[in-house]
Structure 1
């Protein structure tokens, strides 16, 4: 049994991870800590576990094997490194950190202390992603020339009695979040396209805020890949009814995924569009992979490369927006480590 401490309910997915933990036969939630004491006490009461206001007391407890981190993103580096130093395994919400340099520091602490770190990038486990990967690997699209991914929702569309929409107010706090729609919801298109298109060469981004918010709520990035393909990543908090879309185009065909509808056209398959009869079996969710890595030593499918690549795009996009220009990958990677 892996005894777990929940560290903060700041993120909107914190309840989801608590539920996944409770549903996993190998996990036991033992305690809650939160930088917001009142919120933490209420959450602990709901979960019928103790609340501990002192983080170091939680981490020093020898009965605690691991932590699930849902703090503000600007606290990730400090808290995750501290947890690693106390020899606790770590599961955390994306993104890991604001810069590649900070990610390197976190992984250095994780590796030195021989603990398991998992960042939740769940769409890399989905059957549609695995199918897209399969289609590329089989050469059915020929040479990949273009990839587009869109994921958006209406979280910042004003509601009656809530001018900020249904997202919590702190999701628009630039200091805590590091950004808005792109760094949060845009993470999913970023890590999906990174996997499918390969190494990135350069980024151009437009991260557009609403007048009353300092973070972006409607964002687009154009990605240049080393293989010559172009990528378009679209996200936002202002789109009602927007479907998830993943599109791949190549010299031999096209793959279009829109929610649960999948269509493939390939010269190698004859004329017209084809719908797959079956899809690959989905992989275990990130939390399941994390626990398997702790208990059985299994190697997760979600890797440090995925996590670093996600941060790289975010860091480059913010620089592109701030300076109004194209940003080369090497500009980010040559920052002093």
Structure 2
């Protein structure tokens, strides 16, 4: 049995991970900590477990094997490094940290202490992504030239007198979040496109603020990849009825995924659009993969490369927007080397 501590209910997905923990027969929630005492006490009462206001007390408890981190993103590095010091396995909401340098520091600590760290990148386990990966691997699109991925909702559109819409107010706190739509919802287009296109070489981004908040609520990033492919990544909190769109274009064909509709056109198969009879079986969720890795040392399908690559595109996008220019990945990596 893996005894876990829930560290903060700040993120909107905190309840989801608590539910996954409760549904997993190998996991037991033992204690809750939250930087907001009132919120933490309320959550502990709902779940019927103790609340502790001191993080060190939780991490220093030898009965706690692992932690689920849903704290503000600006606290991730501090909390995760502390958890690693106390030899606790770590499951965390994306993004892992604001900079590649901080991510690398976290992974060093995790490896030193022989721990399992999982960053929740759930769309890498979904059937449509696995189908896209199969199609690319089989060469049915030829040379991959463009990936367009869009994921947006209306969470920041004012609703019933609430200026921030249905999203919590703190999702617009620049200090806590490090950004807005791109760093949060845009994470999914980023890590999906990274996985299929490979290592990135440069980023040009525009992080728009349409509703007057501290952070972006509408964003686009153009990512150049070593493979020669272009990634066009779109996200936002101000789009009503926007479908999830995942489009792959290559020299020999096109794969279009829109919500639950998938169709393929490949010169190697047919001149007509093909709708697959079935999609691959989804992989286990990031949470369940993490549990199996702790118990049985099973390899996970979500990797350090995925997590760091996500932060890399976000870091480059922020610089690109603030300085109004194209940012190369080389300059970010050189800056890291200079600080070592």
User: TM-score, normalization: structure 2?
Assistant: 0.98
| Equivalent residue runs for 1:83-232 within 5 Å | 83-232=83-232
- For the residue of structure 2 that corresponds to 1:104, the secondary structure is helix
| Alignment partners' CA distance in 1, 2:82 and 2:224 | 36
* Unaligned ranges ≥5, structure 1: none
Pairwise CA distance, 1:278: 1.5
CA distances 1:177-213 after superposition (whole Å, capped 9, x unpaired):
0000000000000000000111101000000113521
Per-residue CA deviations over 1:18-61 (Å, capped at 9, x if unaligned) read 00000001000000000000000000000000000111000111
- How is 1:260-279 mapped onto 2 (pairs within 5 angstroms)? 260-279=260-279
2:73 alignment counterpart? 73
Task: Name 1:307's counterpart in structure 2.
Answer: 307
The 5 Å alignment of 1:3-18 reads: 3-18=3-18
| Misfit runs of 4+, over 6 Å | none
The CA deviation at 1:229 is: 1.1
Equivalents in 1 of 2:270, 2:10: separation in Å? 51
What SS does the corresponding residue of 2:317 show, helix, strand or coil?
Answer: helix
Q: Note the aligned Cα RMSD (angstroms).
A: 0.7
Q: Distance in 2 between matches of 1:62 and 1:205?
A: 45
* 3-state SS in 2 of match to 1:43: helix
Helix, strand or coil: the match of 1:71?
coil
Q: CA separation in 1, counterparts of 2:127 and 2:270?
A: 24
Match of residue 57 from structure 1: 57
Classify the secondary structure of the residue corresponding to 2:274: coil
Bigger shift: residues 206-215 or 290-299 = 206-215
Which whole-Å CA distance do the structure 2 matches of 1:82 and 1:334 have between them?
28
Q: Structure 1 length normalisation: TM-score?
A: 0.99
How far did 1:316 drift?
0.2
Partner residue in 1 for 2:254: 254
